[in-house]
Amino acid sequence: MKALLFIALTTVIVTVTVSCQEMADKSRELPAKKIEALQLSPQVNFSGTYNVVNDSTDFETCTFSIILKQKTTGYSYRLVTDKRDVKGDAIFQKTDEGALLTLKGITWDAYEGDISNEEARNEELKLPEDVGIMVKNDTINIQNYGNAMNSYTIFGECGKKFIVLAKQKKVK
């Protein structure tokens, strides 16, 4: 009788321990970031002209604008800097922080990749195309270059690390 009781208690303890371990493992998992395509609607319209914000305290200034136009199948863009005048398609994805805008067909100026990876440093890396930028509250933010561990420059003609563009207000 004692042996059966011992086996039953051992089974319960093992089951509880395994269940608790499974719950602990799941609690360490980070929730997947929700990204979904934005539906075209009057409430979600990013169309307009966005110009770089150069304030008087900026050490580095640049000429930079993005014009977004809504089409029936998505968006198109025109990017104008001192060095470029590029047109293409723009793809939006909704994120928790706002929207991710991908400008298709823009080749980066420099890319060395993850320099902590010894094998990757010895390879000839192709310059990436497409630029991912964040849009939130009529403002576009672009991280223009990386750091010592992930060295890249997207727009060499603008020396700012973070390029901020504000949507022009319509004048009536």
Q: Which residue has the higher pLDDT, 104 or 35?
A: 104
Q: Are residues 4 and 69 in the same domain?
A: no
Beta strands in 9-153, from DSSP E residues, in sequence order: 36-37, 48-52, 64-71, 74-81, 85-95, 98-107, 110-114, 129-136, 139-143, 150-153
Q: What is the pLDDT of residue 74?
A: 80
Q: Which pLDDT band, with edges at 50, 70 and 90, does 137 fall under? A: confident
Q: What is the pLDDT of residue 132?
A: 93
Q: Are residues 71 and 99 in the same domain?
A: yes
Q: Does 17 map to a domain?
A: yes
Q: Are residues 23 and 59 in the same domain?
A: no
Q: Are residues 103 and 21 in the same domain?
A: no
What average pLDDT does the segment 141-153 reach? 90
Q: Which residue has the higher pLDDT, 101 or 35?
A: 101
Q: Does 172 map to a domain?
A: no
Q: Which residue has the higher pLDDT, 134 or 73?
A: 134
If one counts the domains in the chain, the total is 2
